[in-house]
Amino acid sequence: MRSDYDAVVIGAGPNGLVAANLLADHGWSVLVLEAQPAIGGAVASAEDVQPGFVHDTFSAFYPLAAASPTVRSLGLEEHGLTWRHAPAVLGHPFTDGSWALLHRDREVTARLADAQHPGDGAAWLELCAQWDTIGDQLLGALLRPFPPVRPALSLLARLRRVGGLAFVRDLLTPAAELGRNRFAGVGPGILLAGNAGHADIPLDAPGSGLLGLLMTMLGQTVGYPVPQGGAGRLADALGRRFTDRGGELRCDAEVIGIDVAGGRATGVRTSTRRVRARRAVVADVVAPHLFGRLLHPDDVPPRVARGMERFEMDPGTVKVDWALNAPIPWLTEPAHAPGTVHVADSIGQMQEALGQVQAGAVPAAPFMLAGQMTTTDPTRSPAGTESFWAYTHVPQETRTDAGGGDVRGIWDHDDCERFADRMQARIERLAPGFGSTVLARRVLGPRELEARNANLVGGAVGGGTSQLHQELVFRPVPGLGRAETGIGGLYLGSASAHPGGGVHGAAGSNAARAAVLHDRLRLRRP
Ligand SMILES: Cc1cc2nc3c(=O)[nH]c(=O)nc-3n(C[C@H](O)[C@H](O)[C@H](O)COP(=O)(O)OP(=O)(O)OC[C@H]3O[C@@H](n4cnc5c(N)ncnc54)[C@H](O)[C@@H]3O)c2cc1C
């Protein structure tokens, strides 16, 4: 390892790896320093629950990566990545044995919705057609640095074709309402609401409808693909592409400080060495750690320091992985087996669970996201078995247990196991006999998640709340909304930066592009 590079990237999560690739594409010498023993951040997999079963440790489904112009431009398929799709994208099982299903073929989704409530099929196809007109522009605007002038203008030009202000109103309608306004049956609405529940925006708040629509329509257009062989194969492809271009990766190398001189980042420190960064430092680091730990307080611009005092993490997470000796015995087999499964009795119950988390209560009947991974990618476990997971959110600070008081919210071993029993009971109601298929179970609570990736503060999956007051120009602090940090040559390229959580690489891409642009401007200056 040399002692100076054009750029140093701190952290090898998807954003760090995207930034590193883009900088290497510009011919820069780039070093990535990763604290953990392996690259990937929250994109990782291992056979560590049961031999023969691959489990994704954190994230599992990648619609945002499949749709992201940046990730697509990297051509990861040439570096060993193969996407796999489940027969159906998403399913929501009900306790009466029926399902709401999203199939990648919109006609099939529409047919299924129509069978449950005549007329909903046509309404679904109309929604899809509206998305066809503005979806790419909307996604482009969301993933670009703020303000996204060009995609926003293109979006405005197309709005009239989808109903103008009436459609804008739909985008601003809270997720809990969106389905009720457009569909007579409950199925389409609960799919939209469940997809909004992937982030921590309350389902009755503006912004939740947009997210629900975005995730649902991505399911309808690109699907929810997974990397064949495990989530780690996506990280491997990013890493391989980077090292093929001469980039250097070092694991077990935690950065403990960033050197700043004359208001400009000049390099980084690990516990054993100092590395100079001639042109840029990109931090794939959660904002409170970047501004509160890696930088000396005197180096943080006062405006940023003040803003960070009010920075909010998103809720914590408990994730349970199961190795099953048989497919899940759902009450009724769905018409098409879904990869992603949402667990909630109704939109109302989903709202109640999310509201309890916001209010500091451990949810009594948690709203869960789950994944049938062998159904999606048969290489994940032996034929006839299932590699399965579910996760749900819990408060960062627990005041009470809405489920009767046996979970204290300190997330030690007992708390995690008791809460995992509560989660498992939710599956058992929908799939009687589920428990008897379990070969092995592993519970990752907030502490275990953070120990495996320091960015997951208190088990938060999104690098900070996704609520409107910390999005766009307010992310991570009011006035930023871009990768710039107020310190020359230092860029925030993690999920804490706009546009936030999810594996789309946009924060890393924004950071790399800003670094290259500023470097050019600096070199041009006399
Ligand atoms: C349980 C879970 C499930 C999720 N499910 C999905 C999903 O299905 N689909 C989806 O799109 N998104 C999902 N997400 C969100 C998504 O994984 C994250 O938003 C995304 O990984 C963020 O990428 P990142 O590069 O910003 O940070 P991370 O992936 O968190 O990576 C940050 C990296 O930086 C390293 N690091 C931090 N500090 C230092 C330091 N000081 N020195 C060196 N290295 C450091 C960390 O070790 C880590 O490797 C999920 C997240 C979790 C936790």
Residues of the chain with pLDDT under 70: 525-526
Q: Which residue's CA lies nearest to atom 21 of ligand 1?
A: 42
Q: Which residue's CA lies nearest to atom 47 of ligand 1?
A: 453
Which residues, in sequence order, are bridge partners of residue 491? 282, 484
Within 6 Å (CB) of ligand 1, which residues are found? Answer: 10-16, 33-36, 41-43, 58-62, 64, 254-255, 284-285, 317, 319, 391, 449, 453-456, 461, 463, 494-495, 501-503, 507
pLDDT for residue 479: 74
pLDDT for residue 171: 81
Q: Which residue's CA lies nearest to atom 50 of ligand 1?
A: 59
Q: What is the whole-number distance in angstroms between the Cα of residue 14 and the centre of ligand 1?
A: 7
Helices of type H across 223-346:
232-244, 287-289, 302-308
C-alpha closest to that of 197 among 62, 346, 397, 337: 346
Cβ burial of 269 (10 Å; 0-12, 13-18, 19+) is middle
- Tell me the three state secondary structure of residue 472: helix
Question: What is the value of pTM for the model shown?
Answer: 0.96
Determine contact, residues 217/211, Cβ cutoff 8 Å: no
Which atom of ligand 1 sits closest to the CA of residue 500? 19
Residues shown for the chain: 526
- Enumerate residues 6+ apart whose C-beta is below 8 A from 299: 258, 260, 487
**How far is residue 236's CA from residue 331's CA, in Å, rounded to a whole number?**
38
- Tell me the three state secondary structure of residue 507: helix
- Enumerate residues 6+ apart whose C-beta is below 8 A from 57: 42, 44, 45, 46, 48, 231, 444, 452
**How far is residue 356's CA from residue 364's CA, in Å, rounded to a whole number?**
8
Three-state DSSP string of 11-62 = CCCHHHHHHHHHHHHCCCCEEEECCCCCCCCCCCEEEEEECCEEEECCCCCC
Q: Which residue's CA lies nearest to atom 2 of ligand 1?
A: 58
Question: If residue 274 lies in a helix (H) or strand (E), which one and from where to where?
Answer: strand 274-283
C-alpha closest to that of 316 among 465, 426, 423, 209: 465
